Structure 1
Amino acid sequence: MGIVKSCGRQIIYVINGLFGLVALFCFVGGMFVKYGSDDLKSMLPDLMKELVRKIDPILKATHSSSEKFLENLDLEKLLGDAAVVFIVFGAILFFIVFWGCYGVSCKSKCALYTYGIILLLILIGQIVCAVLITKRRDLIDDKLKPELKSSIKVYYIGDHAMDAVSVLWNAIMLKFSCCGVDNYKDFTSGVWNTTPIAEITQAHTNLDTPLMCCTEKERSKSTTNWWTCATTPFDSTKSNYMTGCYDEVWTYLEQYINIVVGCAGGLAGLELLLAFFAISIANGMDKKNKVDTESNGKRKK
């Protein structure tokens, strides 16, 4: 048992050391991006040009210009928002690592028990998520679909689609040849912003779907054909109006389910191993203290 505990201490040290480096990288990197420096700001123009190059197919498909996109894009704010995620993740990871390293280094039962319990709670959360995804996807759908449909309220078309939500929706509909969450009816409520692009002069209230719901073949034609597709999208050869993006994305992700399961299983096994070692070491301290107390009591007698 002594060998197991000794190996456990070394494993906790090594694994937590690696995770500590990841936490430090995320936290420091996030702080650097969030609160920035002149070096980062000097890199923004190049980053913006590279971003435009990546999404150029989306801009062309919506008759949007890269100049207008760059004019409306606040990349510094977007990077700052992303940096907050890294800062929070780094802080949480460092918090977990701290309990493991502190418990082993200072031989603290409380810290080791806390570390083991945190890992077990994370493991339980992963198991619950796995069950929901594989067995009760309907519960996820019921929560996620309304949120996605709600995001359509701030969706813009054409050269007005410069905000993150609109660009993301356009990217998804372009990538997966789909329309809306379930189908085009998600756009028939009229709550989304259908202000037309400069090349289109017809009344925008006639739009039943975003222009991006039209097929690639239809988008390559004239603006008039494109407009007709968006106002009367009931032809599957011209529009993807009945293909929902939600199911298309799920189908795409299912191709990588084996990789996800393998990574999640490996991480879960590692967490279980670390929790076992931490609790075993802490239990060993309890037994040692009990033996020492009994020995001291006998000596006094």
Structure 2
Amino acid sequence: MGSDCGVWLAKYLLCLFNFLFFVVGTIVLGTGIWLAVDKASLIALLKIVDSENINQFTQPRAIEQMAYVLIVIGAIMFFMSFLGYCGAIRESRCLLTTYGVFMILLLIAEIVAGGLGAFYKEKARAETKTFLQSTITDYYSTNENMDAVTHMWNQMMSQMSCCGVNDYRDFNASLSWISNKGNHTLPEACCVLKDVSQLLPRDDDCVTNPTESNSYYKKGCYEVFTDWIISHREIIIGVLSGVGIVHLFTIFLPFCLCNAFARYHGMRL
């Protein structure tokens, strides 16, 4: 085994790869747990930073939702990297096989999702729009009652110069927005802004009397995002290809190591 440089290299390459993901997963998981149990510390820490854009995250609801997302992502990364690292370092065929099977299932899920999305393209678009609309209907509120979803939409609309999924009328489906909007016709993030970080409209009348010159009230974010994907398709294809190669690599290595470890331990008996 010691003379087999290829197996040795594969073993420690898989160890290194999963160790890095293990560290990242642990940090993400730990951060999520910390946010879930001690929001006050994060709020106090962020308020030290003199940035209105960062301080928008100090809403307790936004912190709680962000914590749950981090816990789920961190737990998955922690579990998968633990299997891969321990399987390689301990030369455990059981752990490596389990790791490889999980990676195969994840790859199959990605391929199936991509295939269904391509085959049912129009339905996929409709479902995507329905999902995006549901995030506005169920969660979107005013800046005074901001949560993580509201902040996400505000950032997306202000950065991409758009409004809602289809247009400004999407916000009328949100009871939280309707009950707290006052005389506003649309959110500040839908306006042409003079200060993006604080969501300050260039025209003070924009939120009550939007026009095509002072707002993006007729320009839906779904259309803008679709156009952005089309214009950057080469980069996106390249990134997805790179991720696919790495994914195949993490499937190929554990099964090759399983075979090598079986031969090695068989020779020692």
Q: TM-score, normalised by structure 1?
A: 0.66
What CA RMSD, in Å, does the superposition of the two structures yield over aligned residues?
A: 3.9
Q: Which residue in 2 is equivalent to 1:45?
A: 44
| SS of residue in 1 equivalent to 2:10 | helix
Q: Which residue in 2 is equivalent to 1:193?
A: 178
Gaps of 5+ in 2: 195-200
Q: Which residue in 2 is equivalent to 1:34?
A: 36
CA contact (8 A) 1:211 1:227 kept: no
Matched, 1:181 2:157: no
| SS of residue in 2 equivalent to 1:242 | coil
Matched, 1:280 2:256: yes
Aligned equivalents of 2:69, 2:8: Cα separation in 1? 36
1:193, distance to aligned residue in structure 2 (A): 0.5
CA contact (8 A) 2:96 2:258 kept: yes
1:84, distance to aligned residue in structure 2 (A): 2.9
Deviations 1:146-176 (A, max 9, x none): 122223335445x655444444434433333
Aligned equivalents of 1:49, 1:137: Cα separation in 2? 47
Counterpart pick for 2:135 among 135, 138, 151: 151
Counting matched residue pairs gives 259
Q: 1:164 to 1:193 in 2, by over 3 A?
A: farther
1:181, distance to aligned residue in structure 2 (A): 0.8
Counterpart pick for 2:228 among 252, 255, 259: 252
Q: TM-score, normalised by structure 2?
A: 0.72
1:248, distance to aligned residue in structure 2 (A): 1.1
Deviations 1:12-32 (A, max 9, x none): 222222222222222233333
Q: 1:193 to 1:114 in 2, by over 3 A?
A: same
Q: Which residue in 1 is equivalent to 2:197?
A: none
Aligned equivalents of 1:99, 1:41: Cα separation in 2? 35
Aligned equivalents of 1:165, 1:119: Cα separation in 2? 30
Deviations 1:153-209 (A, max 9, x none): 35445x655444444434433333323211244356686516554xx5xxx8xx5x5
Q: Which residue in 2 is equivalent to 1:21?
A: 23
| SS of residue in 2 equivalent to 1:243 | coil
Aligned equivalents of 2:174, 2:90: Cα separation in 1? 63
Report which of the two structures shows the higher radius of gyration computed on alpha carbons.
1
| SS of residue in 1 equivalent to 2:208 | helix
Letter in 2 for 1:97: S
Aligned-residue identity in percent: 27
Q: Which residue in 1 is equivalent to 2:208?
A: 227
Matched, 1:271 2:247: yes
1:279, distance to aligned residue in structure 2 (A): 0.9
Gaps of 5+ in 1: 57-68, 230-234, 294-301
